[in-house]
A and B are shown apart, each in its own frame.
Chain A
């Protein structure tokens, strides 16, 4: 990996950061920075939008125009930014609880509209910031503070959800796969339309400690041993994650569909030309 002058991308005057040792959020953020440095984008045009949570703190460390919004609402905020100024490169960086529990409705609609933005989700299977409660991505049987007898709710399969809703680019890697994560983020950022990257990430403090992956290192070993790269023809419906089970990783789709903006511009042209014809 080419070393990036971190000062260009990170508000170093805000360090040290708040994340625990062994946490994967920093790796995912670093991957995003590396991807940005390899993309053909002006940093002045890049906007990072986060919701609330440990992962949501990324906006505060990114040295770009960055917005730390409310819990779950990064995507609609980002939608306004993008439509208000289409030249912006909008990246939503947030947690699984933020994007898929409280913010799930916004995710599915932004994907449906094919809103031109990249959503990066740090999935640590838990609500980290509030101390380890179960959420919509917590695997069955996992112990959390609100599932003391083990989680009995079925979780989302995020790549499946994203694809079903119309995302044009979907990939999943773990924070062990730094090179692949960077590559996926690069492709996602370069992609026109709604792109989604899931970064499976350790939260040793409140998830791992209760589920037999007590350290960041243990999580890395687990990811290394249990990740399975998907092959051509893989059915994304099979990408669900079980506690202690295999994690399917790779690029699930890369396809094209007109974006919201494309359709809007086409409609506006039609309106304007229709009026011209009427006036003429």
Chain B
């Protein structure tokens, strides 16, 4: 790998640029994108940097094209990514589905802004969390990660590439305008300390290879176009040979496997961070930028004698159902803070049993004041004390 691809050292950079550098550092050599605030800096960085390392940047005619181009480039054998924000994320949905159905590894960075529609181009939001999960039609499981800082933009973009190759699925990095535009210290390790994604190439010869026959972890191996396997890849429901199969049995088999390859391996995919949970009576659940506000609110609550803890979701999808279920039995109330009108909180409610769930919500535009989240924690603590 070219030396220029890993900018080892300490930097002061924003989250968007850190996403680009994370991709470059772990071997991303193809980027197709379309400008959109607040994600444009990812594309601009790639346009400058990819030619330096022998990669390709192409500005497509829209986000539909960008998404398709990274799928094509992935099948050509490169590690590929794109970045966008709300309106572009909506345009990508159909073809994120194509990536899921054809099991095409790639990374999509969504630097979220306030929506719906054109909404708040320059201001933050976390309103695309359910779209990330369900935005493309049909049944599927997806992997999505939520960085809380520029450093995590770098780290989680690398993680996204590793996961996308491991599970052969598009992986979403759900950043937001605030993380994307904030400048912070980012430490880029030496090249030999950066984990590299590995394409799961076929280990059998061309004649015995069956294109979509899964390995033990339910993920099939993936040849590249031009390798001589002469495979067929379709967005139609297909059998293990990759041939279209328009019947309920084939569909059941395929969709179950696509779902199970993520669900069954979820315990290996989850990344969570917990603090103050040992003695917590109120647990706050938050992700991305809002987790930073929630951490401050937790400290303020503790200063006021409320034993609060924080569960930060680094992996948001798949959702850590078991951890939340256990947590609900450990504490007396749950508080979810997020920059939307109640999205991940619904997921928490599904696993909270009889433990009450409170939410600190804003539709984006700006992050919460720690005091706002604190007020909800106090309300939760009071209610818990009564029950």
* Contact surface of A with B, Cβ cutoff 8 Å: 11, 14, 43-45, 47, 49, 59-60, 63-70, 73, 75-85, 87-88, 105-106, 109, 260, 264, 267-268, 271-272, 275
Contact = CB atoms under 8 A, between A and B. Distances in A.
Given A14-B243, A60-B244, A80-B68, A109 B226 contact: no
B294 to A, nearest CB: 39
B240 interface: no
A59 B80 contact: no
A27 to B, nearest CB: 21
Interface stretch (B15-23, B114-122, B231-239, B326-334): B231-239
B241 to A, nearest CB: 8
Contacts of A66: 230-233
B64 A76 contact: yes
Contacts of A83: 30, 56, 58, 69, 73, 76
Size bracket, chain B contacts: 35 or more
B225 interface: yes
Given A65-B225, A73-B64, A79 B72 contact: yes
Interface of B, helix, strand, loop or mixed by DSSP: mixed
B226 A88 contact: yes
Interface of B: 30, 32, 51-52, 54, 56, 58, 60-62, 64-78, 80, 94-95, 98, 102, 224-236, 243-244
Contacts of A77: 68-69, 71-72
A81 B233 contact: no
Contact of A84 (B51, B66, B75, B228): B75
Given A68-B236, A81-B76, A268-B54, A109 B244 contact: no
Nearest to B78: A84
- List 9 tightest A-B contacts by C-beta distance, closest first: A80-B72, A84-B76, A84-B73, A80-B73, A76-B65, A80-B69, A68-B234, A76-B68, A85-B76
Contacts of B71: 69, 77, 80
Contacts of B67: 76
A68 B226 contact: no
15 contacts: A43-B230, A49-B72, A59-B232, A65-B229, A67-B72, A68-B236, A80-B74, A80-B76, A81-B225, A84-B56, A84-B74, A85-B224, A85-B225, A105-B61, A271-B52
